Amino acid sequence: MIDLEQLQQAQARIADTLLPTPLIPDHALSEQLGRRVWLKGEPFQRTGSFKARGALNWVRTATPEELEGGLGAVSAGNHALGLAWAAREAGAAVTIVMPENASPFKVEGARELGAEVRLHGDINDAWTLMHRLVTERGLTLVHPYDDERIIAGQGTVGLEILAQAPEATAILCPVGGGGLISGIGVAVDALRPSLTLIGVEPAGAASMAHAWASGGPARLASVDTCAKSLAAAIVGEHTYPLCRAHVDALASVDEAAIHRAMHHLLYASKLFAEPGAAVGVAALREGAATLPPEGDLVVVVTGGNMGREELEEFL
């Protein structure tokens, strides 16, 4: 289990390259709720999402042996972009397997950063192929969320929020495999345990809620959501206990709510964000989460990697 010191070490390790992202006031949502709402702007991070944090922390703590045979990963897109970018400074080759319905914008972006990208089936099929490639090629697997070095890097988001929002009483965070919220949870419980941490999932890919109900990680038979960055079929052996220890509640939002939140972010918040990044805003707009009665609210907007054809359905 990771601790605050590991998060702080990760923050120091990546600070020369990755700057803190801003908190942006959401005036329209603040007026609707009668309290201040802040958006944590991870679309402004390198490679367009929080994933660069964990990837750079992983690469900068890797041994020569881990790097020399090349790196492998499964990703819906943002981890692919972050890892391909971070690996360039170490001169490490990267192979990514992505599901066939992955964002073309993210596929091309990862290739432009030097990664070999294979498209294969759904997310479960992609994992099957990656495990085979790890064996055949001797790749080092860099898990998109279930790795302590990745989690520690993502947890730097939490350290920044706590420094930026001293009056916050709740953080709403999107949940896919659980790496980001696990890291934020470690920071919150160590530095401001009175703060409420709420995870938000798309109803069509609620893998963390499924794990909580099952008593441990349990694979969803399928996932179906426009929030592809959150479409993890199973949470991790690390992220499950971390979330159980540090997350106060889970909420879910349906596809229509995500669409409305996307429209809000684009037109009211003036923030270009992808569907998976919009679920926290959706939960606030729809009243899907039980909130503390007072204090500021922070919503983590996780990324903004989306091509024109993906954007059009939300306009």
Which CATH number belongs to the domain containing residue 265 in this structure?
A: 3.40.50.1100
Q: What pLDDT, on a 0 to 100 scale, did the predictor assign at position 104?
A: 93
* 25 and 56 fall within a common domain: no
* 281 and 207 fall within a common domain: yes
Residue 72 pLDDT more than 90? yes
* 72 and 204 fall within a common domain: no
Characterise 287 by phi-psi region: left (phi > 0), alpha (psi -120 to 50), beta (else). Answer: left
Q: Which residues contact 136 (CB under 8 A, 6 or more apart)?
A: none
Q: What pLDDT, on a 0 to 100 scale, did the predictor assign at position 1?
A: 82
Cβ neighbours around 136 below 10 Å, total: 8
* 279 and 172 fall within a common domain: yes
* 201 and 299 fall within a common domain: yes
Q: What pLDDT, on a 0 to 100 scale, did the predictor assign at position 315?
A: 85
* 212 and 295 fall within a common domain: yes
CA-angle at 45, arms to 244 and 186, nearest 5°: 20
What integer best gives the mean pLDDT of the chain?
96
* 159 and 96 fall within a common domain: no
Percentage, residues of the chain above pLDDT 70:
100
Percentage, residues of the chain above pLDDT 90:
95
Of the pLDDT bands very low, low, confident and very high (cuts 50, 70, 90), residue 313 is confident
* 140 and 110 fall within a common domain: yes
pLDDT per residue over 251-310, tens digit each?
999 999 999 999 999 999 999 999 999 999 999 999 999 999 999 999 999 999 999 988
- Domain final residue pick, 122, 146, 170: 146
Q: What pLDDT, on a 0 to 100 scale, did the predictor assign at position 256?
A: 98
Of the pLDDT bands very low, low, confident and very high (cuts 50, 70, 90), residue 139 is very high
Q: What pLDDT, on a 0 to 100 scale, did the predictor assign at position 89?
A: 87
Residue 76 pLDDT more than 90? no
Distances (CA, A) of 94 to 14, 18, 81, 235, 258: 20, 21, 10, 23, 32
User: Rg of the Cα trace of the chain?
Assistant: 18
pLDDT per residue over 81-120, tens digit each?
999 999 998 999 999 999 999 999 999 999 999 999 999 9
- Domain final residue pick, 146, 161, 179: 146
* 304 and 163 fall within a common domain: yes
- Domain final residue pick, 99, 121, 146: 146
* 170 and 27 fall within a common domain: yes
* 39 and 138 fall within a common domain: no
Give the count of domains, the chain.
2
* 13 and 119 fall within a common domain: no
Rounded to whole angstroms, the Cα distance separating 250 from 98 reads 27
Question: Is 80 in contact with 115 (CB distance < 8 Å)?
Answer: yes
**pLDDT, mean of residues 168-192:** 98
CA atoms in the 13 A half-sphere facing the CB of 194: 8
**pLDDT, mean of residues 214-226:** 94
Tokens of 133: 């490639």
Tokens of 190: 């160590």
Which amino acid makes up residue 204?
G
Characterise 47 by phi-psi region: left (phi > 0), alpha (psi -120 to 50), beta (else). Answer: left
Rounded to whole angstroms, the Cα distance separating 166 from 286 reads 26
Residue 123 pLDDT more than 90? no
Nearest Cα to Cα of residue 142 among 26, 59, 207 = 59
Rounded to whole angstroms, the Cα distance separating 137 from 123 reads 21
Q: What pLDDT, on a 0 to 100 scale, did the predictor assign at position 269?
A: 97
**pLDDT, mean of residues 235-257:** 98
Q: Which residue did the predictor score with more confidence, 124 or 199?
A: 199
Q: What pLDDT, on a 0 to 100 scale, did the predictor assign at position 124?
A: 87
Residue 232: domain span:
4-49+149-314
pLDDT per residue over 9-64, tens digit each?
999 999 999 999 999 999 999 999 999 999 999 999 999 999 999 999 999 999 99
